[in-house]
Each structure stands twice: as structure tokens, then as C-alpha cells.
Amino acid sequence: EDPAKLAAFEARIARGEKIEPGDWMPAEYRRQLIRMISQHAHSEYVGMLPEGAWITRAPSLRRKMILIAKVQDEAGHGQYLYHAAETLGATREEMMDALLTGRAKYSSIFNYPSLTWADVGMIGWLVDGAAIRNQTMLAGCSYGPYSRAMVRICSEETFHHKQGKEMILAYANGTPKQRAMAQDALDRWWWPSLMMLGPHDQDSPNSGPLMKWGIKLKSNDEVRQEFINEHVPELQEAGLTIPDPDLHQDEHGNWVHGPIDWSEFWRVVKGGGQCNKERMDARNDAHAEGAWVREAMQAYASRALQAAD
Ligand code: BYC
């Protein structure tokens, strides 16, 4: 790679400029962005499934309307992100193929089951809460299309976060049965939400290049600390118990968590989680069922081309 071009590129990043699609960039910067943005898109796309399963069982029309809007937003986020990755030269077909054949990753969190209606609220509060912390940081990233997608996505995620918190607060202040449902959902979603933000910094091989080139502005552990500091007091105020006997505040006011079970995390990432197979089957079925739409669009486009000749 041309050292002069690399130096000019790194100087632009140091000045806080955004890198845009046609600009020169190192091959590793492009590769890292395609990896991360496409995996982020896959997460949004697979992430529709745990909550989508509850649309038909929502307890009221209001809750059903909110949930439909939220799940639809996640589909939209996937679309923005696939487009952002396309600006780097990745094709939709390649990315979809990588997901559907299991070559690409998507967020570990979506391989856990949503067992009760309270899980919908807890996903909004914790999973969207963790996603906002991570994505607010990524909104400042050096690649223009990713950074701009994050700004819009974060404002929608803020609505998702609020509806989840509102729902859990209602149940935490409700009947004993509702409180028990909220607590059970917290017990099951707390640790996976901490894991969602990625391995500890010393076990995060991508953080080096990502931070050097301004893609990640904070490390996995820094974002996790922000998430914990925000959510622990609010969950405790709601009267819920965080399932971590070692949780305590240090002298700086940071909430310190107990050991995370990284063997569980890697098992889930490598396909061995409770719902990995179910999620992949659902996405593969949806893709197969959509084949006629893609064929119709292609037929329409080739006819439009013939007409233009
Ligand atoms: N799950 O070097 P590291 C949403 C992988 S969806 C699976 O630290 P990096 C929502 C990692 O890919 C929003 N794999 O990686 C939707 C790497 O493997 P590869 C989801 C994980 O990239 C619906 C290896 O572990 N958000 O909000 O520096 C409903 C080593 O890790 C995970 C995003 O996708 C994981 N949790 O940092 C509700 C954010 N963590 O790729 C809500 C975008 C790590 O080298 N992504 N791995 O084979 C990121 O910010 C970063 O990629 C991460 C990881 C912080 C996740």
C-alpha cells in the first residue's frame, strides 16, 4: 500500500474528516467495515425474530401497534446497513449468502429465546439499551455512510428503549405475577446483554485496527461500563434484582460486574446457542419464500431495459 496515501488517509481521520465511498482507503479499513457493517445488518435482520414471535400474542392493541412498529424499524435498520456496506463494494447477494450459509456472524443475543411477553419489554430496555450505547459511539465513526446511518438508527432505538422500559416499569409495579415475570426476564437477559457488547478488550482482536482508524471510538469494556452504569440504578429503582451477586460500586462510582461466562458466549457465537438453528432456519425459509419476488423484479427490470432499447 502506498505510504503517502496511507499517511494522507490517517491525517484526514486525525482531523475528524469523514471518509466517503469513492475516497482512497486501505484494504484493511474496507475489509473491517464490510465485516462489521454487514454483521450489524444481519443482527438487525435476525433480531426481528425474538420479538416478532410475540406480535400475534400482544396483550393489547396499543402494545401490538408499538411492537409492529419496532420490528418494522429493525427491518429498516437492516436495509440502511446493507446499503452502507454496498457503498464499500460488497453486494447484497454476497452478504445474504454469507448469513444464510452461516459464514457471517450476527449478534449472539438473538440466539436466546423470548419465553414470555415480559421478554419483549426486557429486550427493549436491555438489548436496545446496549445497542444505543454502542451505536451512539459508532455515530461518530470515520466512515460517512455508517456514521450517518447510526444517527437515524439511534433515534429510532431511543423509542424502542423507552417502550421497553415503560413496559417493564408497569409490570415491576404491577401484580406479584407481573413482577415475577419482569424479574424472570431480567434473570435471563442480563448476562447475554453484557456479552452482546463483545469480548473483554484483551480478547478483542479487531479493536486495534478499528480504534486506530476511528471506526470504534470506545472499547468493548468502556461501552459495557457505560451500559452497566446507566442500567443498574434504574433496574434497582424499579425494585428488580440484578442476577449478579458480585455486583458492586467502586470508588469512582462505576458498577463492577462479576465474571462473565465467556465459554457460553463463544458457544453461542459458534452456533451452539439455544436458538441458532431456529433463527437460521427462519431466515432461510423467508429467503426461499421471497424467491418469486426477486424473480418478478428481475423480469420487470429486464423488460424495462428492453423497452428502453
Ligand atoms: N455476537 O474483536 P471483537 C439491535 C465477534 S442489533 C456475535 O471485539 P469487534 C437490535 C466479532 O465479530 C444491533 N459475535 O469484534 C435488533 C469477532 O469475530 P469476527 C447489533 C460477536 O467487531 C433487533 C470476534 O467476536 N449491534 O440493536 O471489534 C432488536 C472478536 O470480537 C459479538 C451491532 O452489530 C457478539 N455479540 O467488536 C433489538 C453493532 N461480539 O467478525 C435490537 C456493530 C463480538 O472477527 N458491531 N463478536 O469473525 C460492533 O460494534 C462490534 O462488531 C462489536 C464487536 C462491539 C459487536
Angle at 227 between CA 196 and CA 236, to 5 degrees: 115
pLDDT tens digits along 15-29? 999 999 999 999 999
Q: Which three cell numbers stand for residue 76?
A: 429498516
Atom of ligand 1 nearest to the CA of 123: 38
- At residue 1, the pLDDT reads 83
Q: Maximum CA pair distance of the chain?
A: 73
**CA 6–ligand 1 middle distance (angstroms):** 27
Cβ pair 246, 261 in contact under 8 A: no
- At residue 308, the pLDDT reads 84
Kindly provide the ipTM of the predicted complex, given to two decimals: 0.98
Residues in Cβ contact with 300 at an 8 Å cutoff, skipping those fewer than 6 apart: none
Kindly write down the DSSP assignment for every residue of 283-301, as one continuous string: HHHHHHHTHHHHHHHHHHH
Q: Which residues line ligand 1 (CB under 6 A)?
A: 35-36, 39-40, 43-44, 47, 74, 105, 107-108, 123, 127-128, 131, 134, 196-199, 204-207, 210, 220, 269
- At residue 172, the pLDDT reads 97
pLDDT means over runs of 10, the chain (309 residues) = 95 97 97 98 98 97 97 97 98 97 97 98 98 98 98 96 98 97 98 98 97 98 98 98 98 97 98 97 97 96 89
User: Could you give all domains of the chain from N- to C-terminal order, each with its CATH number?
Assistant: 3-308 (1.20.1260.10)
Q: Which three cell numbers stand for residue 22?
A: 469513492
Kindly write down the DSSP assignment for every residue of 88-153, as one continuous string: TT--HHHHHHHHHTT-S---GGGGS---SHHHHHHIIIIIHHHHHHHHHHHTT-SBHHHHHHHHHH
Distance CA 219, CA 93 (A): 31
Distance CA 35, CA 186 (A): 31
Q: Which three cell numbers stand for residue 200?
A: 473483554
- At residue 174, the pLDDT reads 97
**CA 40–ligand 1 middle distance (angstroms):** 7
pLDDT tens digits along 171-226? 999 999 999 999 999 999 999 999 999 999 999 999 999 999 999 999 999 999 99
Distance CA 122, CA 227 (A): 14
* Protein residue with its CA nearest to atom 44 in ligand 1: 198
**CA 52–ligand 1 middle distance (angstroms):** 21
